[in-house]
Amino acid sequence: MMTHPSLTAKSKQQGVALIASLIIMLLMTILAISVFRSNNLLEKIAGNTREKQRALQSAQDALQYGEWWLQQSGSNLVPVPSCSATAVPTVIQVCPNNQDPGPTLANVSALKYFPYTPPNMASVTSGATGAIVKTGATINDVVYSSSPGFVIHYLGIVNSQKMFRVTAIGYGGGGGANGTQAIVQSIFLLGGSGAGATPTKNLGN
């Protein structure tokens, strides 16, 4: 009669240790993958935040220039009969109040902005052959996808003051019109003791 060796307590313990080791390895692998994905997500969030901040600062620069231009032009400004809805303006102009887009983001996104390039800003433009070239760039400059722009609308007379809406758009470092954008607005008054800009309103990124 054949006899079978019985499993000793030591053999059983070795089997349990092997299973436990495999489970621990599996958990460590899952943890490592999660950490890797989390790091990538944090990098993307940081990059998006940086581009939004750049776009907002770019828009603010254009807005301030538009307000400065209003101040320099004085209260005798007369709006043009109509601003083009298809062509980018080549000179600064004041659009009539019947073309005022208001604060609606969808409306202001479709405006044709007068391009303004702040001093020392590097932006990307298309070359004659379609190649992307840098304009105004120096070594290690932040290169924006496009120059910011602004548009001015005449709103009418309020308390003997001429009221204007200044809308400005700025871009981040990539993607152009399909990338990161920021649009800001302010209401500007000319004439009288209360002349100046109201608090700027950020319409979104």
* Residue 188 contacts residue 196 (beta carbons within 8 Å): yes
Query: In which residue are the tokens 């004439």 written?
Result: 191
Render pLDDT for 110-146 as a digit per residue (tens, 0 to 9). 899 999 887 766 665 544 333 344 555 554 456 777 8
Select from 183, 143, 148 the least CA-distant residue to 167.
Answer: 183
| Percent of the chain topping pLDDT 70 | 65
Mean pLDDT of the chain: 75
Q: Residues near 133 by Cβ (< 8 Å), separated by ≥ 6?
A: 124, 125, 126, 127
Q: Residues near 71 by Cβ (< 8 Å), separated by ≥ 6?
A: 190
Name the residue ranges covered by the structural domains of the chain: 11-204
28/10 Cα distance (integer angstroms): 27
Render pLDDT for 61-100 as a digit per residue (tens, 0 to 9). 999 999 999 988 876 788 899 999 889 999 999 999 899 8
Select from 61, 68, 64, 59 the least CA-distant residue to 190.
Answer: 68
End-to-end CA distance of the chain: 85
Select from 110, 74, 109 the least CA-distant residue to 94.
Answer: 74
